[in-house]
Structure 1
């Protein structure tokens, strides 16, 4: 699809200095410094930078519409492309596990997804990249992980630890053991044996993570940690060069991250719901305290735009930096995140109702409906 050459007029446009009624020109897939092409009048609309979603796992529903039923991944990614665009998301980081948990969280599925995404990418409108969520106790696979990251150009790795340590310490059967075992294709007994064997690696994990982290940092990979429970865990991760705290569980962990200059990523569904579904930290409180660099979709792609609207009475524009320039800064992406000349023409256009009516990704129409569709297509 050829990028648009147009000048949007009559809308509110969120620029570096805030909202204004200045026209916005697009040419050659970039924001242009002067008027270009035909004029498209969008009165009553708000033009915002496209959403950069740094952590979403809702893609699993497109790739496996029912548990255990993995569809054609290429067609699933095309369907995901449509949902992302309908949600105003122009850059999506797919949070894919490399885990002992099996199923769609297995190393084999990570390989399948990476291969399918490379095949599908020329046909997609939104920009999709992979975040690898690595389980910290798979120490025997760290070399393979580094090779996988290099082979597929993955620029973001997040450390996870889903082992039920507390239950194992108390000699109890871990919660959800049978369901996890069935999902992984193991018997409950075999799954429990695997979990215990992995937990026994506790003493070797710090050294193995340090070596892997150094290797990944040398490759230019950004590192994050998931669910930091407290300042001690955040400090341990920071010592490894892990500068992104993803979904810290407590205000103390988030404050420790901010005090050290680490980036903090929080879930937009937490903002929309008014709290964590797991009873953890309230994201709204952290945002109000200035402890958030980016809000992400987590498990629900419409959530970022809804969260911005919940946080800012101007339709979300006052909180939109948490969906655009903030995430871009976390990842070091200088070509997106704002509507400045030379940047990628990534736009989310809200209609008079405040809902996403069009998404333009690298100058191409990825989604359009209603008032904006009529203006764009005449």
Structure 2
């Protein structure tokens, strides 16, 4: 691990940007270091990004269907992209779904095995398991996998097209989804219809599963809440993270209940949701956000935070991708630059480009003028 002093840079400390030295030793931040001094005059040092939900890794694990046999190679490629974007803690959002293919149970188990055995650059790679709540037959196996692989974050999803199924209509995009799952469109539709028929059994079953997981210390979230009543239902089940609420009313309900609100950083960068949902930037301005996640695009947290900094200031904006996401999941050892915390940080130039990423005291990314400073 590194033992050095970063000097001359503007450092984002609790309280704001100051010109200060930052020591690194034993994978932790120190008040002053005794190692080699790196002159970072003209640059900024910020806390490493804590990404609570990102599925951009999928294209590294399966560039084409069936093409990636060794998932560890895909994880290495994904970690390189994470590091290049200043992400030092990454929750890889992996489905456990009836949809099959990369979203199916078998792939999820392959992924969990590969991640458990992966040794990388230093990025803290964790998993957020996204569980389709209508998979009643999988509840026991899912709970066992969460325990076996030490999963600390589970999000409940429901991607069944209930309205179309209730009307007996063919759901949109059926053929493409079926082929991704390795099924015929007819078999895929029949499976969805069968799952939809168990509507009344789901509510008590998911309440029991949520209680069991919460009792084991697993953080629980819901995905795409659209209404106040839905957020209240999840809250009563102990599901206290509202991930990507679709409406202002759902986000406001989460805030009233004291639940955490995670929004998509790409929504901020784009200036709105690609699916017509509430603007994330609007919710941020109104204090209805506890963290911005990469969702499908790893550059987005940095981009969103720097955009918001022009409006609300750098410290509160950057906290939305570092300190506050860490607080949401109780990661008390990171998210801020203070002695004794993990040495998770990134170095930005004046144009907001990343020159270096250090994760747990190890260089995971280095380029350009910053690389010249490190290498002498």
Aligned positions of 1:138-149 closer than 5 A: 138-149=135-146
Give the superposition deviation at 1:36. 2.7
- Over the aligned positions, Cα root-mean-square deviation in angstroms equals 1.2
Equivalent residue number for residue 11 of structure 2: 13
Alpha-carbon separation, structure 2, partners of 1:352 and 1:246: 32
Aligned to 2:271: 274
What's the CA shift for 1:6?
A: 1.1
Whether the 8 Å CA contact 1:92–1:126 is kept in 2: the answer is yes
**1:87-102 paired onto structure 2 within 5 Å:** 87-102=85-100
1:159-238 pair list within 5 angstroms: 159-238=156-235
Note if 1:355 corresponds to 2:332: no
Partner of 2:38: 40
1:353, distance to aligned residue in structure 2 (A): 2.1
Partner in structure 2 of residue 374 of structure 1: 372
What corresponds to 2:54 in structure 1? Answer: 56
Partners of 1:181 and 1:188 within 8 A in 2? yes
CA distance in 2: counterparts of 1:70 and 1:225, whole angstroms: 30
- Aligned residue for 1:312, secondary structure, equals helix
Partner of 1:322 in structure 2? Answer: 320
| Correspondence for 2:240 | 243
For residue 244 of structure 1, report the CA deviation from its aligned partner. Answer: 0.1
Gapped regions of structure 2 (runs ≥ 5): none
TM-score under structure 2 length normalisation:
0.98
Looking at structure 2, the residues matched to 94 and 287 of structure 1 have their Cα atoms a distance apart, in angstroms, of: 23
Residue-by-residue CA offset, 1:172-199 (whole Å, 9 max, x unaligned): 1101111111111111111111001101
Instruction: Tell me if the contact between 1:133 and 1:157 (Cα under 8 Å) persists in the aligned partners.
Output: yes
Partners of 1:271 and 1:316 in 2: how far apart?
15
Q: 8 Å contact 1:310–1:316 — kept in the other structure?
A: no
* Pairwise CA distance, 1:351: 1.4
In 2, the alpha carbon distance for the partners of 1:218 and 1:304 equals 31
- Segment of structure 1 superposing worse, 132-141 or 34-43: 34-43
- 1:125 corresponds in structure 2 to 122
Larger displacement relative to structure 2 (348-357 or 105-114): 348-357
Q: Aligned pair 1:294/2:291, yes or no?
A: yes
Aligned length: 375
Asked if 2 retains the 8 angstrom alpha-carbon contact of 1:336 and 1:346, the reply is yes
CA distance in 2, matches of 1:166, 1:47: 49
**How does the TM-score come out when normalised to structure 1?**
0.97
Contact 1:68-1:103 within 8 A present in 2 as well: no
How far apart, CA to CA, are the structure 2 residues paired with 1:347 and 1:324?
10
Gap runs ≥5 in structure 1: none
Q: Tell me, yes or no, if the aligned pair for 1:14 and 1:48 is still in contact at 8 Å.
A: yes
Tell me, in whole angstroms, the C-alpha distance in 2 between the residues paired with 1:319 and 1:345: 20
Superposed displacement of residue 267, structure 1: 0.3
Structure 1 distance, partners of 2:175, 2:11, is: 52
Note the alpha carbon deviations across 1:301-343, whole angstroms, 9 max, x for none: 0000000111112995541000011011000011111111100
Quick check: 2:121–2:363 contact (8 Å CA) kept in 1?
no
Selected match of 2:251 from 237, 251, 254? 254
- Aligned residue for 2:310, secondary structure, equals coil
Per the alignment, in what secondary structure is the counterpart of residue 295 of structure 2?
coil
